[in-house]
A and B are shown apart, each in its own frame.
Chain A
Amino acid sequence: MSADLLPLKILVVDDERAIRRFLRASLGAQGHTILEAENGSMALQVAAEQRPDILFLDLGLPDMDGVEVTRRLREWSEAPIIILSVRDRESDKILALDAGADDYLTKPFGMGELMARVRGVLRHTQQSASPDPVFCAAGLQVDLSRRVVSREGQEIGLTPTEYEILKVLVQYAGKVLTHQQIISRVWGSGYNEEAHLLRVNMSNLRRKIERDPSRPDLIVTEPGVGYRLRLTG
């Protein structure tokens, strides 16, 4: 399963020794190098000294809020951050994502899910220099250079807003985007009015591009957080 991933230097930030241990064992077995930090300040220090490729960050740290760690790290580092949080910290999760974290996973999680997240965020960081102008997934084709969207060869007419939303999702394909992130990229600032517009446009967009809008397999809703364009081809 890790065949498509080069060996990575991963910083695991969690105050629970058992969690660090199982991550070290299973990620180490896949050939990755594991760095560990048990609190926020240690995480910042290790990150500065060792320059990890990716961070797994728990939100409930003993010394510092995970959101704060994200914010400080983002002042100088672009390394992807995946938030590992328990279920009842939805609002913290969104704060961390808006502060610059790349994705999140709710504990408990399977290693398969975790590695899928890793691939998603790495794909984005590796591609951001020269994004692929054509996105293909589940029968959908989005050609960003020609502004053409088609499904199974059939061109789909989208309104400008729908296209803008889809474009943002394609640009960050595989990665979760918070409502706020999509809104600020499509409409600029604002929230209340746009929060409604986003839902309505998303619903229309799904009717146009999904096979079954009630069982979306392209644009997945991350409840309470935002949306994700699924990567599987």
Chain B
Amino acid sequence: MKPPPASYFFQFERQSPAWRYAQSVLLVILASAISFPIHFVVDAVNLVMLYLAVVVIAASFLGRGPSILASVLSVLTFDFFLVEPRLSFSVADTQYILTFLGLLAVSLVLSSTVSQLRSQVQIIHEREKHTAALSALSRALTRAHQLEDILRSVAAHIAESFQRRVVVLLPGKSGLQLAADSSPQNTLNPQELARANKVFQNQQDDLENLAVIQPGQLYYITLRASAGAVGALGIDPSDQALAAPARRDLLFGFANLTALAVERAHLAEQASRAQVLKNTEKLQEALLHSISHELRTPLVSITGTLSALLETPPNTQAPASQEMLETAYEEAQRLNLLLGNLLDISRLESGSLRLSLEPCDLQDLAGIALARFSERRYPNPVQIHIPPGLPLLNLDVTLMAQVLLNLLENAAKYAPEASPIQLSAFQKQEQAFLEVTDQGKGIPPEYLEKIFTKFFRLPQTHPINGLGLGLSISKGIVEAHGGKLNAINRPEGGFTMQIQLPLHP
């Protein structure tokens, strides 16, 4: 929207001073030309009014200087042409001295009053323009939602109001970057970017700097919003007009509007990102729930049915069918474990794993894992070294027992058949350690970290049951407890998986 068109009244600044003075002289000449024939008919004093009119016109349209010139010229021409003796500056009738003085005084007062009025109107008009410009920008910003639109709109509005180049800079990966430019064909050189960054980092914008700006450089001010600096605004300072208080206020008004709009856009973006994340989490939860429910439910019936068949008196069944049932039952249970692993890994990755902590005795924990380990009929004997008197740890017992079971199973899978496994616990400073040590040949050093990766399998090992999730789940659970899971090749041979937990998390 454009400011309302100003009347020609008071707009004399657009004309050059010489032309204005010339116009004032012409006006006096015009008045004299009109008066001269008339003064033969009417009394000369009456023609003073015509000269007064000239002074008023000069004051209104041409400014203070030309109107004073008009006043003085009027008095002189009046005397020269219209007062006896004519064509001479001498005055016969002394009463005309009074007329001269009156004309001069009235002219001067008029011209000064009019010029004062004019400057006030000019200020009001300027303010009106500024208000209109600010409200136009604020309206445009209300309509713009995307950061890009906002910045384009800002650059265009400010550039139009000040009739000069405007740029907007926003922080990027490496300091401020050009985000909008009212003259897009131009670019900012690195020195300019460095200057803008300096202003942004120090959050400065003092107009005194205007004086030291070299030609071709822009003047930068920081865009400040409620949460701090959000960017910088650059404007071409040529002709120093920015230093005028009204201009300066307008510029800062624009800067404030811009800062608020940028902040609003940032907040809106954050809100929408949070919403997306929330939706993703909801989806993930729903997926987890449906996996857990929809896949588990048939498994419950299958496992239950198979177990019921297995437990019916064996004499009613052929030995072959007994074995088939056993296979089916074990496989159903394995499927259930795999399903559990998949659920665990997705819970860990989506961050929806919730620990329910309770004080736990490490020997008790070992007992739970061992009971499940022996249920699975591994041939390896497990030797336990847990000294009495270890402090209780705050753990999710179910999850941590599963970690321990995973480690025991891994040891059983990769160590020599039926070789013993050591399970030990000890305390060192503010840490508790649980170690599962096997007599296997350990892991090549380059894989020590990789074994915790999802679906990782050591190359050159024969395929072993499982998805390759056990260790990454275990690591996730231990880390959720604020601990560490370490893989250690023992120098004397054998391999240790070590759970390290803080005593006071």
The CA-CA distance from A215 to B299 in the complex, in Å, is 30
Q: Closest CB of chain B to A96's CB: distance in Å?
A: 15
Q: A91-B356, A214-B384 are in contact. Are A26 and B304 (CB under 8 A)?
A: yes
Q: Give the one of A29, A87, A112 with max B CB within 10 A.
A: A87
Q: Is the CB of B307 within 8 A of A112?
A: yes
Q: A179-B358, A221-B368, A224-B398 are in contact. Are A111 and B304 (CB under 8 A)?
A: yes
Q: Is the CB of B336 within 8 A of A199?
A: no
Main SS class of interface, B = helix
Segment of B14-22, B289-297, B435-443 engaged in the interface with chain A: B289-297
* A206 proximity list for chain B (CB < 8 A): 363-364
Q: Is the CB of A216 within 8 A of B301?
A: no
**Does B305 interact with chain A (Cβ within 8 Å)?**
yes
Q: Is the CB of B304 within 8 A of A196?
A: no
Q: Closest CB of chain B to A149's CB: distance in Å?
A: 20
**Which residues, 289 to 329 on B, are CB-close (under 8 Å) to A?**
292-293, 296-305, 307-308, 310-312, 329
The CA-CA distance from A195 to B359 in the complex, in Å, is 7
**Which residues, 165 to 206 on A, are CB-close (under 8 Å) to B?**
179, 195-196, 199-200, 202-203, 206
The CA-CA distance from A23 to B303 in the complex, in Å, is 11
* A216 proximity list for chain B (CB < 8 A): 367
The CA-CA distance from A93 to B73 in the complex, in Å, is 108
Interface size class of B (residues with CB under 8 A): 35 or more
Segment of A46-54, A102-110, A139-147 engaged in the interface with chain B: A102-110
Q: A195-B358, A199-B364, A224-B356 are in contact. Are A18 and B397 (CB under 8 A)?
A: no
**Does B366 interact with chain A (Cβ within 8 Å)?**
yes
Q: Is the CB of B401 within 8 A of A223?
A: yes
**Does B370 interact with chain A (Cβ within 8 Å)?**
yes
**Does B409 interact with chain A (Cβ within 8 Å)?**
no
Q: Closest CB of chain B to A126's CB: distance in Å?
A: 23
Q: Is the CB of B364 within 8 A of A203?
A: yes
The CA-CA distance from A223 to B371 in the complex, in Å, is 12
**Which residues, 102 to 129 on A, are CB-close (under 8 Å) to B?**
107-114
Q: Closest CB of chain A to B301's CB: distance in Å?
A: 4
Q: Given A107-B296, A224-B356, 6 more contacts at CB 8 Å?
A: A16-B300, A19-B304, A90-B356, A111-B307, A214-B370, A223-B398
What residues of chain A have their CB less than 8 Å away from a CB belonging to chain B? 1, 16, 18-19, 21-23, 25-26, 29, 60, 86-88, 90-91, 107-114, 179, 195-196, 199-200, 202-203, 206-207, 213-216, 220-221, 223-224
